[in-house]
Each structure stands twice: as structure tokens, then as C-alpha cells.
Copies of this chain bind each other. A is one copy, B any other.
């Protein structure tokens, strides 16, 4: 491709609306343009990257025995009503109707459509397992679309659905997909980690998120420095140290603690360690007021709490609610003497000895409070946030944290959709059974954006070779020097013959403009053809990732480039 003909309008300025690096660089490199909020055009360079990612996905899906098909984007409401999601999906489901007034939605995901299809066609256990995937546009009518391709309203996903006879079959499908995802992101040249993720449906290790590691990632990952444990912070398990405390329970007493609004205030005032304090937090879980207890130096993980409470809405209770239920203000709440209120506690709470907690009385706390003796806990769960530096729940070694961008998720669905959509088969004994399903997604645009979040510098994008829009750009320093232009074009043409994806920057631009664009677009290799080197029969090759520059003899440049691309 000649740069003079390439539709890649680069920008020098950072667009004001672009908050994160991938959004900024995709805009600046002329790779995406906004058509409406959360709705983007993939320009030719970005589309080349997208196609490469899609090709890698297809190859790995096919190798894992999956078959590609193409389901509709426009879904009839009836299917979503059958699964019950038409009612519960909320405003993010982008609904529309046809000229006859019939209801439809733009598919955000395809469990309904594919389960209805497979349920209607598959009759026998002999036809299972079945693994079907597609790559297409998905829709989510976000209230506030942002971060470019990271949170759009129209986005491209690969979604795969597995249909198995039983849970053992699902385990095998899941294992195959775990490996396929591993291969895909490895082949994309990305640093990533699969982490255990939330799966309300089945629980346990029934879902993994694949996270591309990047400082700017929206998700925090907790992982072990020693073993394989890794989980999204939202659901990371914690280690429970059950070593008995060598301390006799003391007598409970009330102390005056003026201006002690926080745990740190309190610990400082009483000269105790925050570990000795007991925090009591008031939540409104749907219609229920709940008192949540946790050690004062810990944080509540509201995702884990919400999952355990199995509620739809979970919010901190308002001051009026606290007054009404406990007769006191926030900051001095405690469990002692509380009646007719649900009390749930983190697993560390029962192990406390002589703790300090709120007295349910303004400016007062209680000392030497002992669970069991002074108050009763009905429910004890792991509801605290895991933090870097703690012990690994699996091996007790040190946990670390990192940030990442979620680019894929694999998920055991079980029989949730086969039940609601009636997807059954006849087993070996002629008995009707529900198909056991899994679903497996990859955000294609997200993967491209995550690759940029992970691989960039102040000058622009640094594409991994396998997904770079082109491999090499050939830049003559001056477009007015015919020998430079001729030498550059010859190298370009020779590269094309060898199957190297090359761009010839033949534009009538100053060299600075061409170099800046080359760095911004992020070609892995740049060949510069300048007067001085050319006079010595050489060209300059710059490695984008390292900035390293080498002078290479003209006759060796093709093999040099081929070696570097391997």
C-alpha cells in the first residue's frame, strides 16, 4: 500500500473526548472515527488489525472442533420473553419494532437465539457435543458510552456456545476453550492472565476472565506470587488465619471517643491496632436492612456480599434508615444489643478477642467486646476484599495485584437456557435430557484496544507483529530525490513479492511528518532510505518496540526484515 493512497488520517492533537490511551491513539493514528456516541467506524488500518485477530480466533476455534455460523443481529422479542430476559435486561437491551409493530432487540448476546435453534434441530445424544461460534456486531445501549472501543454501544464479539450431554461434557468443552483462549491471546502477542471470575449461575471455578495486563486496565486482578491462583479482585477469595489468640476475654466497658469518625481515628485515640477494631456497616439489601461486620482494617467486597445475600440491589443504608433501625448515627454503630436485625459477618469476626466497636451511641465505643459472649452472629461468610500483600488462599504465599483489561470470558451456563428455551435431547436410553451449555466470548475491538493499552509509548502504538496492520513502512527521507524514491520503491516492491505486508510512504511530506506517522501508527519495522546511507549502499532499519536502529546493506535488507519478523 502506498501511503499517498491510504485512508489513514493521522492527528497531531489528542482528541479532547478520549480519556484513555487506546482511545487517544486509535483516533490519532486514523484507525477509528466516531459516528455516534459509542458507535465507531473501523478505518482501514484498524480493520486490518481486527481481521488478523478474527483470523487467529477462527483458526483456534476451528482447531478446537467448533463450527462457525452466523446468527441474526435482530432478534424477535418472543425468544427473550421465553428466557425471561426481555423483562429483566433493562435499558441496556436496545429494543426496536418493525413496521407492523412487532418487538425486536439488537442482540447483546445470543443464548436465546442459539438455544432455540439447537433445541429445535438436535434430537439425539449422538449429535452432541456441538460447539458453535460466530463473530459479529453486538449491541448494548449504554447510558454513558466511553473509552472508545472499550465501552461502546456497537461492538464486535466472538461468541461461542457449547452444547453437551452432561456436566462432564461441559467440563471438556470448557477445558478446550480455556486452552483455545490461551492460544489466541498468546498468538496475538499479548501479556495476559486468566482469572477466576464471578459466576452467579453455577459458582466455583465455573468462569474465567482473560485479562490483558495493562496499568490503565479497568479491572484489578489479585494473583499469587508463587502458585497459579489469580482472580478478579471482585471475587478473589481470602486466606483465613485461624491461629488461636492467646488472650483472655476482658470485661466489656463503654468509652468516650469524641471525634472518632474513622477506624484510624479510633485506633489512634485508643492506641490500639486497627486489627483489634470491629467495623459494623449498615446495608439496604433490596427491602432488608442488614448489619455487616468486618474487622476494622479490612474492606467489604460488595460483589461477594451481594452474591451471598442473593439480592438484586445492595446499597449503603441512608442515615435515616440507620437512625430508624438502630437509634444512632453512622460511625458509632455496633452489634451489641441489636435485636431483630439480620447480622452477617466476615469469617475473621468470630476470631476477634477483646475487640472495639461502636456503642450505638454518639461519641461512644465499647471495649473488650467478644463475639459469642456479647453478640450473636447468624451468618459468617468470606465477604472481604482480598488485597495485595496478603497470604494466598491457595498456598499462603504473598498475593500481588495488577490491573487488566478484560478481553474474554468463558462461562459454564449449565442448564439455565436449555431449560427455559426447551433444548432437550434423547439419551442412550431414549430418555429426554436437558443439554448442558457453556458460553465463551471475546471482545475483538477490546482485544485491539487492550493491545494498545499494553503496548505503546509517548510516540504511539507498538503493535505486536502478529496483529500489526502492516509489518514494515519504507520511508524515503526526501520525496524529491529520485534515487531515494527509486531505492525505497524497489525495497517496497521486493517486500511485497516476499509476502511481507509493507507500506511505501511516497507522500510529499517532510521527513519529520513521515517519521512521526510511522511511530504513531506503530509499524513494527521502519526502513529509512536517506542520502548518506544510500551513498554507502545502506539503509537504516528502526525496530519500533526497542527504538534500536541498525544500518543494513541494501543487498541484505530483505533477509534482515524477514528474520526480524519471525
Binding site for B on A (CB under 8 A): 1, 4-7, 9, 30, 33, 35-36, 39-44, 46-48, 50-51, 65, 67-76, 91, 94-96, 98-99, 104, 106, 113, 117-118, 120-122, 126-127, 130, 132, 136-137, 139, 141, 143, 153-154, 508
User: For the complex, what is the distance from the CA of A130 to the CA of B4, rounded to whole Å?
Assistant: 10
Q: Which of B47, B71, B72, B94 contacts A96 (CB 8 A)?
A: B94
Chain B residues near A39 (CB, 8 Å)? 72, 74, 76
Are A76 and B36 also in contact (CB < 8 A) when A4-B126, A7-B130, A91-B99 are? yes
- Cβ-defined contact, A154 with B94, below 8 A: no
24 contacts between A and B (CB under 8 A): A4-B126, A5-B65, A7-B69, A7-B121, A7-B132, A30-B121, A33-B121, A36-B75, A36-B76, A36-B104, A39-B74, A39-B76, A40-B72, A41-B113, A42-B69, A43-B69, A44-B67, A47-B70, A73-B73, A73-B154, A98-B141, A99-B141, A99-B143, A137-B137
- Cβ-defined contact, B4 with A73, below 8 A: no
- Cβ-defined contact, B73 with A137, below 8 A: yes
Q: Chain A binding site: helix, strand, loop or mixed by DSSP?
A: mixed
Q: Which of B76, B130, B139, B141 contacts A35 (CB 8 A)?
A: B76
User: For the complex, what is the distance from the CA of A54 to the CA of B408, rounded to whole Å?
Assistant: 27
Least distance between A118 CB and chain B CB atoms (Å) = 8
User: For the complex, what is the distance from the CA of A68 to the CA of B137, rounded to whole Å?
Assistant: 17
- Cβ-defined contact, A68 with B40, below 8 A: no
- Cβ-defined contact, A71 with B35, below 8 A: yes
Q: Which of B50, B104, B117 contacts A70 (CB 8 A)?
A: B50
User: For the complex, what is the distance from the CA of A68 to the CA of B118, rounded to whole Å?
Assistant: 34
User: For the complex, what is the distance from the CA of A6 to the CA of B76, rounded to whole Å?
Assistant: 27
- Cβ-defined contact, B65 with A42, below 8 A: no
Are A36 and B5 also in contact (CB < 8 A) when A68-B47, A98-B141 are? no
Q: A5-B130, A7-B132, A96-B96 are in contact. List 10 more A-B contacts (CB 8 A).
A: A7-B130, A33-B117, A35-B71, A41-B69, A43-B69, A47-B70, A48-B68, A74-B106, A136-B137, A137-B137
Chain B residues near A51 (CB, 8 Å)? 68
Chain B residues near A91 (CB, 8 Å)? 99
Chain B residues near A36 (CB, 8 Å)? 72, 74-76, 104
- Cβ-defined contact, A74 with B153, below 8 A: yes
- Cβ-defined contact, B70 with A42, below 8 A: yes
Residue of B nearest to A143 (CB): B99
Chain B residues near A104 (CB, 8 Å)? 36
Chain B residues near A121 (CB, 8 Å)? 7, 9, 30, 33
- Cβ-defined contact, A75 with B6, below 8 A: no
User: For the complex, what is the distance from the CA of A336 to the CA of B98, rounded to whole Å?
Assistant: 51
User: For the complex, what is the distance from the CA of A132 to the CA of B9, rounded to whole Å?
Assistant: 14
Least distance between A44 CB and chain B CB atoms (Å) = 4
